[in-house]
């Protein structure tokens, strides 16, 4: 069995907006969500910019409809808000016998709460509030969301660093395509934490001016937070409901760079392979891709390696491409989900999103990212890349109806 | 969907890595509240330079993975998939601690890099130069199960012919302290081999690493096959659990996740007097302790039982006549939320 995978709903929350409408507004008005760190107490708060969702956990609880007294990690709250929006916008209505799943992705899980716990625990291991640590593991956020949405059949979490939520959309698509599930919510969520802020800072790959993807002067990424999910349904499920789908997931490819634990290979072997696999799966020629939403983190290494892989695959006819990370920051385990929503929006809004903060072409590449918003573009097939530590590379292709 | 098991390997609190006879002479731990893995001597198994930078879970993971491939006579799989409930706990703790100790300044990035859940799957790919599909699941009691499901789907899709699939979880002193405070473990020290007899609250903590070499094709190496993987999250009633276990090949025996917790074990009892009545039941958590991915160890035991057509005395919970063993159903639940079944069949 190999059925089509319809996208019927999208949900998003990021530094650029708390729902699809707000986020789309930001995309259309080239408004970046990068700014000062205000919600985490860190010694780096005045020197390292981030892309925060400007809402306290209490406010997020209200948005998510979570009771005040319950302990939820920030990742779970961000996730539930986006999942609720995705489900509502899909118009999905449950009926007996429908098999439903949720594939969520995260890299920090409940680390924000673990940090509160650990501050006390490290001094005395009888200290630290247990309710701050029971949300630590990756599965917690997915189970919280699954519980709130009544999903039981397949509930799981993917954690492949920065490609995590691209892999959840990949797995979700395969579960629909193979007929195992009728409907699946797939995407990911990650919150900003002291752990990741210091982790990426220790690797010296955070640009203190804010990220500048594919710019010759780029000097690192900017961390962000948020969540992005798609509702995927089978052909029968869409026919049954009579709703109109937004787009389809037409291709996906996962490959491992197998080069280095954190660095990408100079010619982007893994990136090349994952894009090629996605094209093969979609039965598309490279010339049929209308827009590439690149991984484009803004690190010296990623953008060169990804750029070279794109050049290898598309040769002299590279389609319009951009990285939207100067809008949202790099949201790690949420990035693939957020950028999947951006890719669907590119198709439905007929737009090509700009690479903000781009000014100087990279010496090593023959092509440049789109610096300005392009409207009324013919966007039928969008390729979206997500690459992670460990060389975990995943590419997705979205196609208009 | 099915996958032939062409090789397997595990590192567990038993001598499962080094001793062929580990089930005949199980390790008897007296007065314990947790079980730790019996680690092999890594000299000769791992490059000493590389090993120096590896945490315990990476060393165990890589070593079991390489042995598994060797057992299967496989040089490079087409895909690598792992599952881990808690990930690389030791490195996560090391980096977290350094943030506070050094007040966020001049931190060593190595534990951060190695703290991600996909570290072991990525390290194996790096060592083998394996550019194929690579993924990692981190979801409590479904971590291994969804890794297996993914593998079965990949084989059916033709994405890969040979897959290395496994699971890993490590127990650290901090993780034990925290989960102990959460009330997961028995307060009284026990004898592991009598875990099923205590009828008190809680289990004993454990850890382990297990890998399977799965194949689309039956070869002379094939010892058994995975024929079904199912999961169920948060069932509202017992009938949902029964539904999960119905409509698959009738098992000749079941391997249950009995962990000594009087409350959690009640569910297994209920099944034994219901749909599992007249089916011999085995258990395994007295050998490895309780952890998120213990079903991976159970799967290697099931493969072994099918291969040998012999039921180890130490796993039995009752006196039964054992005929030909064609289908073994592994049923486990993690704190009554994550329920799973895996069927291992003869091939």
Q: Are A165 and A386 in contact (CB under 8 A)?
A: yes
Residues of B in contact with A126 (CB under 8 A): 181
In the beta sheet, which residues pair with residue B164?
A: B80, B213
pLDDT tens column, A247-273: 999 999 999 999 998 899 999 999 999
Q: What's the confidence (pLDDT) of residue B247?
A: 82
Q: Is the pLDDT of residue B248 over 90?
A: no
Note whether B115 contacts A199, CB cutoff 8 Å: yes
Q: What's the confidence (pLDDT) of residue A241?
A: 87
- Write out the DSSP string of A217-245: T---B-BB-EEEEEEEE-HHHHHHHTPPP
Note whether B109 contacts A154, CB cutoff 8 Å: no
Of B95, B105, B139, the CB nearest to A157: B139
pLDDT tens column, B127-152: 999 999 999 999 999 999 999 999 99
Kindly report the nearest CA distance between residue A255 and chain B, in angstroms. 5
Note whether A153 contacts B232, CB cutoff 8 Å: yes
Kindly report the nearest CA distance between residue B263 and chain A, in angstroms. 20
Note whether A270 contacts B139, CB cutoff 8 Å: no
Residues of B in contact with A264 (CB under 8 A): none
Of A156, A260, A273, the CB nearest to B139: A156
Asked if A295 is an active-site residue, the reply is yes
- Write out the DSSP string of A370-386: --S-B-S----EEEEEE
| pLDDT range class, residue B171, cuts 50, 70, 90 | very high
Residues of B in contact with A138 (CB under 8 A): 87, 117, 138-139
Comparing alpha-carbon positions, the chain B residue that sits nearest to A273 is B131
In the beta sheet, which residues pair with residue B334?
A: B338
- Identify the CATH assignment for B3-345 out of 3.40.50.1100, 3.40.50.620, 1.10.3720.10, 3.40.47.10: 3.40.47.10
Comparing alpha-carbon positions, the chain B residue that sits nearest to A41 is B104
Residues of A in contact with B240 (CB under 8 A): 152
Instruction: State the catalytic residue, choosing from A162, A211, A351, A357.
Output: A162
pLDDT tens column, B31-50: 999 999 999 999 999 999 99
Asked if A44 is an active-site residue, the reply is no
Note whether A391 contacts B139, CB cutoff 8 Å: no
Of A115, A255, A262, the CB nearest to B132: A255
Return the structure tokens found at B297.
Answer: 């160890």
Q: What's the confidence (pLDDT) of residue B249?
A: 82
Using DSSP's 3-state secondary structure scheme, residue A213 falls into coil
Q: What's the confidence (pLDDT) of residue B319?
A: 87
Comparing alpha-carbon positions, the chain A residue that sits nearest to B88 is A137
Asked if A357 is an active-site residue, the reply is no
Residues of B in contact with A119 (CB under 8 A): 100
Q: Scanning the structure block, which residue is given the tokens 């026919």?
A: A239
Q: Between the CA of residue B339 and those of A100, B187, B240, B274, B280, what are the distances in Å? A: 16, 25, 10, 17, 20
β-pairing, B208-215 with B3-11?
antiparallel
In the beta sheet, which residues pair with residue A223?
A: A330
Note whether A256 contacts B235, CB cutoff 8 Å: no
Residues of B in contact with A259 (CB under 8 A): 126
Note whether B116 contacts A138, CB cutoff 8 Å: no
Kindly report the nearest CA distance between residue B319 and chain A, in angstroms. 35
Q: How far apart are CA A342 and CA A324, in angstroms?
A: 8
Comparing alpha-carbon positions, the chain A residue that sits nearest to B112 is A199
Ordered structural domains, chain A, with CATH: 6-241 (3.40.47.10), 250-400 (3.40.47.10)
Q: Which helix (H) or strand (E) holds B88?
A: none
- Write out the DSSP string of B305-339: HHHHT---GGGBSS--------EEEEEEEETTTEE
Can you give the pTM of this predicted structure?
0.98
Using DSSP's 3-state secondary structure scheme, residue B65 falls into helix
Q: What's the confidence (pLDDT) of residue B204?
A: 98
Residue B211's Cβ-count burial label (10 Å; 0-12, 13-18, 19+) is buried
Note whether B142 contacts A156, CB cutoff 8 Å: yes
Q: Are A353 and A371 in contact (CB under 8 A)?
A: no
Residues of A in contact with B118 (CB under 8 A): 159-161, 388-390, 392
pLDDT tens column, B59-70: 999 999 999 999
β-pairing, A183-190 with A100-105?
parallel
Mutate to test the interface with B, among A125, A198, A270 (most CBs of B within 10 A): A198
Of A133, A156, A174, the CB nearest to B153: A174
Which 8-state DSSP code applies to residue A123?
Answer: T
Of B140, B157, B174, the CB nearest to A139: B140
β-pairing, A291-293 with A381-388?
parallel
Note whether A146 contacts B233, CB cutoff 8 Å: yes
C-alpha distance across the termini of chain B, in Å: 14
pLDDT tens column, B310-335: 999 999 999 888 899 999 999 999 99
pLDDT tens column, A219-241: 999 999 999 999 999 999 999 88
Q: What's the confidence (pLDDT) of residue A7?
A: 98
- Residue B128: name the closest of B51, B50, B66 by CA: B66
Instruction: State the catalytic residue, choosing from A20, A136, A211, A330.
Output: A330
Mutate to test the interface with B, among A258, A278, A333 (most CBs of B within 10 A): A258
Of B133, B146, B235, the CB nearest to A156: B146
Low-confidence ranges of chain A (pLDDT < 70): 1
Of B108, B134, B235, the CB nearest to A256: B134
Which 8-state DSSP code applies to residue A189?
Answer: E
User: Which residues, 6 or more positions from A347, have their beta carbon under 8 angstroms from its beta carbon?
Assistant: A246, A247, A379, A380, A382, A398, A399, A400
Kindly report the nearest CA distance between residue B103 and chain A, in angstroms. 8
Mutate to test the interface with A, among B86, B94, B123, B139 (most CBs of A within 10 A): B139
Q: Are B330 and B302 in contact (CB under 8 A)?
A: yes
Residues of B in contact with A160 (CB under 8 A): 117-118, 121, 134-136
Q: How far apart are CA B192 and CA B186, in angstroms?
A: 11
- Write out the DSSP string of A6-42: EEEEEEEEETTBSSHHHHHHHHHTT----B---SS--
Q: How far apart are CA B62 and CA B68, in angstroms?
A: 10
- Residue A271: name the closest of A390, A394, A367 by CA: A394
Q: What's the confidence (pLDDT) of residue A309?
A: 98
Which 8-state DSSP code applies to residue A91?
Answer: T
Residues of A in contact with B123 (CB under 8 A): 261, 390
In the beta sheet, which residues pair with residue A381?
A: A399
Residues of B in contact with A105 (CB under 8 A): none
Note whether B85 contacts A126, CB cutoff 8 Å: no
Mean pLDDT of chain A: 97
């Amino acid at each position: 069995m190999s059925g089509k995978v319809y996208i019927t709903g999208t949900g998003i929350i990021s530094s650029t907006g708390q729902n699809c409408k707000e986020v789309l507004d930001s995309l259309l008005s080239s408004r970046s969500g990068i700014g000062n760190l205000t919600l985490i107490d860190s010694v780096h708060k005045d020197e390292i910019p981030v892309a925060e969702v400007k809402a306290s956990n209490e406010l997020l609880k209200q948005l998510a409809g979570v009771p005040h007294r319950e302990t939820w990690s920030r990742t779970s709250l961000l996730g539930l808000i986006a999942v609720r929006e995705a489900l509502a916008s899909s118009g999905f209505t449950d009926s007996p016998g429908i098999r439903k799943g949720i594939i969520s992705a995260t890299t920090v899980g409940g680390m924000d709460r673990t940090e509160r716990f650990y501050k006390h625990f490290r001094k005395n291991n009888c200290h630290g509030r247990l309710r701050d640590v029971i949300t630590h593991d990756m599965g917690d956020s997915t189970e919280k969301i699954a519980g709130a949405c009544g999903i039981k059949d397949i509930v799981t979490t993917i954690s492949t660093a920065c490609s995590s939520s691209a892999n959840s959309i990949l797995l979700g698509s395969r579960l629909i395509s193979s007929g195992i599930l009728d409907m699946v919510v797939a995407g990911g969520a990650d919150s900003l934490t002291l752990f990741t802020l210091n982790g990426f800072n220790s690797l010296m790959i955070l640009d203190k001016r804010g990220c500048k993807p594919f710019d010759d002067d780029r000097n690192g990424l900017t961390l962000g937070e948020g969540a992005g999910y798609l509702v995927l349904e089978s052909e029968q499920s869409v026919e049954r409901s009579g709703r109109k789908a937004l787009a389809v997931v037409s291709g996906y490819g996962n490959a491992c760079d197998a080069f280095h634990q954190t660095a990408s290979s100079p010619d982007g072997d893994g990136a090349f392979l994952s894009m090629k696999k996605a094209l093969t799966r979609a039965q598309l020629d490279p010339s049929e891709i209308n827009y590439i939403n690149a991984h484009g983190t803004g690190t010296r290494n990623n953008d060169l390696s990804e750029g070279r892989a794109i050049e290898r695959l598309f040769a002299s006819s590279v389609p319009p491409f951009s990285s939207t990370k100067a809008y949202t920051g790099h949201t790690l385990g949420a990035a693939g989900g957020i950028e999947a929503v951006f890719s669907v929006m590119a198709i439905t809004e007929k737009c090509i999103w700009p690479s903000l903060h781009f000014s100087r072409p990279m010496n090593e590449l023959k092509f440049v990212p789109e610096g300005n918003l392009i409207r009324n573009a013919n966007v039928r097939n969008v390729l979206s890349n997500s690459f992670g530590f460990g060389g975990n590379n995943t590419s997705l292709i979205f196609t208009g109806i | 969907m099915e996958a032939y098991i062409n090789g397997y390997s595990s590192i567990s609190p038993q001598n499962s890595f080094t001793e062929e006879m580990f089930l005949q002479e199980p390790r008897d731990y007296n007065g314990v509240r947790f079980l730790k893995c019996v680690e092999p001597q890594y000299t000769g198994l791992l490059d000493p330079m590389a090993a120096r930078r590896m945490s315990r879970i990476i060393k165990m993971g890589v070593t079991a993975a390489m042995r598994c491939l060797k057992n299967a006579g496989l040089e490079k799989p087409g895909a690598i998939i792992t599952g881990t409930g808690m990930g690389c706990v030791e490195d996560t703790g090391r980096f977290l601690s350094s943030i506070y100790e050094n007040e966020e300044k001049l931190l060593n990035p190595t534990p951060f890099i190695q703290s991600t859940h996909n570290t072991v799957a990525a390290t194996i790919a790096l060592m083998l130069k394996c550019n194929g599909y690579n993924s990692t699941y981190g979801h409590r009691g479904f971590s291994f199960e969804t890794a297996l499901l993914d593998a079965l789907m990949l084989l059916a899709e033709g994405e890969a012919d040979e897959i290395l699939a496994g699971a890993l979880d490590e127990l650290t002193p901090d993780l034990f302290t925290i989960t102990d405070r959460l009330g997961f473990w028995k307060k009284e020290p026990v004898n592991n081999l009598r875990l099923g007899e205590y009828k008190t609250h809680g289990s004993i903590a454990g850890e382990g690493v297990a890998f399977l070499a799965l194949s689309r094709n039956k070869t002379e190496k094939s010892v058994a096959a995975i024929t079904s993987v199912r999961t169920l999250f948060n069932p509202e009633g017992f009938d949902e659990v029964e539904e999960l276990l119905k409509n698959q090949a009738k098992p000749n025996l079941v391997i249950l996740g009995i962990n000594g917790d009087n409350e959690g074990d009640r569910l297994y009892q209920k099944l034994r007097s219901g749909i599992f009545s007249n089916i011999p039941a085995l258990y395994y958590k007295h050998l490895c302790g309780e952890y998120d991915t213990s079903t991976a160890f159970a799967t290697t035991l099931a493969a072994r039982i099918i291969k040998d057509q012999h039921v180890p005395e130490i796993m039995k919970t009752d006196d039964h006549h054992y005929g030909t063993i064609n289908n073994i159903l592994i049923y486990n639940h993690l704190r009554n939320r994550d329920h799973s079944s895996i069927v291992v069949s003869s091939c």
